[in-house]
Structure formats: C-alpha cells, structure tokens
Amino acid sequence: MNKKLLFITDPLKGLNPKKDTSIFMMEESIALGYKPHQCEMKDLYIQEGDVFADARSIISAGTTQIEGIKKEAIKVSDFSYSFMRKDPPVDINYINALHLLGLAEKQGATVFNKPNSIKEFNEKIFAIHFKEFIPTTLITSNITKIIEFQANHEIIIVKPLDGMGGSSIYKMEDMEDDNLDILLDMTDDESTQIVIQEFLPQIYDGDFRVLIIHGKPFPKTLARIPQGNSFKGNLAAGGKGVVMDLTKRQQEVGEIIGKYLVEKGINFAGIDMIGEYLTEINITSPTCAREIYSQSGMNPIAEYLSEL
C-alpha cells in the first residue's frame, strides 16, 4: 500500500503508549502496511511557498513503546493523509499551525480533522449547536449572571472553554466567598467567558465517550465512572473506564451529530454524554480508543483507518 501518513501530536516523550490514541493510530497504520510519520506543531513551516514538516518515520509502536528515526523535511502535500492530533488548548500556536495546514490543503494535502473546522468550533461550545440534546447551559464572564444561574439550578458545574481531561472543573452548591474567588480567577475578573451548566447526577453512572467514525457512532462506548468522592469521570482525573454497548439514545444522538460532522470534514470525533444529555463534542484529539479495544476486542482505529 505504501501510504505515507503524518501525525501531528504533542511531544512523543509525554504520550502514554498504554492509553494514547495517536500512538494506537500509528501502531494500526503499521499493521495495515502504511508508513506513519510524526511531528509536533513547531515542526511545521513554510519554505519557498510550500508547507513542510520536519517529521520522523515511526518504525514501531505499541502499548509499551514507540520508536522513530531521525527527522527529515517532507512536504505535507506528499503525505497521503495528515492527522492533526495535538491536544488543546487551541491557543495562538495551535491556530497558526491550522493556518499552515489549511495552506497545505490548497497544495494538495488531505488533513483530518479539517483545519477550518477545528478553527470554527470550540469543543465546549460546539455541543450547543445541538441545543435540543444539552443540559441547561450558560456561557458568560459575568459573575451576576452566574449567581442567578446557580440560584435557579442549586448545583452547577463550571469549567473553562479551553480545558481538557477534567482540569479546572468545579461543582458549586453556593456562591460563598471561596466559590466567588474561583469564579473571579476563572473569568480573569469577568473578562474571560466560561461554561456553566446544571449539575447532572447521572454523572455517577458514567461520563460516556462515544466515538464517531466517518459519521457513524462506534457500537461500544467507554463509561468513565467517577471514583470515591469525586464527581469527575475523566480518566485523567481518576475516573474508571468501563466499556459498554451504546444505548438507543447514544446511537440516535451519535447518528445525528455524525452526519453533521462528516459535512464539516470531521471524520474522527468523540462526543460525551451524561445520562440523556450531550455535554461536549471533541474534535481536536479524541481519546479512549485503546481502552475500548482492550476491553471489548473491537478495534475503532482499524475501522477508522481502513475506511479512509
């Protein structure tokens, strides 16, 4: 086959081979006879009008290690497919990398997920495009509005617009001094917008990650179940991952969102659901594929790559 693939990721030394979906993608691409390469955003550049990547060839990848050889300059348009798999935050460096990848597309590159779509949709706000599926939500920097929202819903969740992995997420049952201090810090004294949602007690049954592959929900989902006294299901925040079959509701929501994602050039995404509600649509570097495969034997990455 000899398809040459480029994976743009965080530094390899910081990725956990046992869990990381990008490494899983490289492993599966080798199994399919492809030639995976890896680089970081800083390795993308323009020279004489062309977009290049200083990329290393990955010669082996698995759950214990990943090995590559010395980087070489390769035009991004020379890869069969390039995959933008850098974790958030989508900051100015991330946006600049997307600009370069957008230019590479004009030069013949095929990039997933589409750079313009990543620029267009904030992952926390994206779900609100499907407001019929979401919990009651407020996005604001105004403390008074947040206080009113809490009074109406009693228990609320607040989180930043650029967070991931369960970081900087708070459950608030009052607006006493400590919580007000947190809100002032999160909003940078009411200048930065944050997300506020009604608390969903169904979280204790799991925060479900549903992978959307080429517009279709994968039949197995990972329920990330909070442990101990925590309300956070995220694996990075200590949640326990348990693979389950999709519910009818998850299937229905996944199909509707999947159709829209494909239209936007997003062929690998992860939607998060708590109970009946959609909470996020992840399109930068969706995870949980390794956990789903290891527990169920069903391989979402093999399905994803084989259908490209």
Does residue 130 form part of some domain? no
Contacts 24+ apart (CB under 8 A), 39-45: 39/6, 39/7, 39/8, 39/9, 39/71, 40/8, 40/9, 40/10, 40/11, 40/86, 41/8, 41/86, 41/93, 41/94, 41/96, 41/97, 42/93, 43/71, 44/8, 44/76, 44/97, 44/100, 44/101, 45/100
pTM exceeds cut of 0.85: yes
Q: Which domain holds residue 47?
A: 4-116
pLDDT score recorded for residue 166: 63
> What is the predicted pLDDT for the residue at 230?
81
Q: Which residues of the chain have pLDDT under 50?
A: none
Q: Same domain, yes or no, for 112 and 169?
A: no
Considering the domain architecture, whether residues 96 and 8 belong to the same structural domain is answered as yes
Query: Which of 54, 82, 116 is the last residue in one of the domains?
Result: 116
My answer on whether 164 and 228 are in the same domain is: no
The residue among 173, 199, 225 that closes a domain is: 199
User: What's the rounded Cα separation, in Å, for the pair 177 and 21?
Assistant: 41
Q: What is the CATH number of the domain that holds 20?
A: 3.40.50.20
- Here the CATH number for the domain that contains residue 141 is 3.30.1490.20
Does residue 262 form part of some domain?
yes
For residue 27, being part of any structural domain is answered with yes
Would you say residue 70 lies in a domain?
yes
Return the pLDDT at 238.
76
Phi, psi of 164 (to 5 degrees): -160, 160
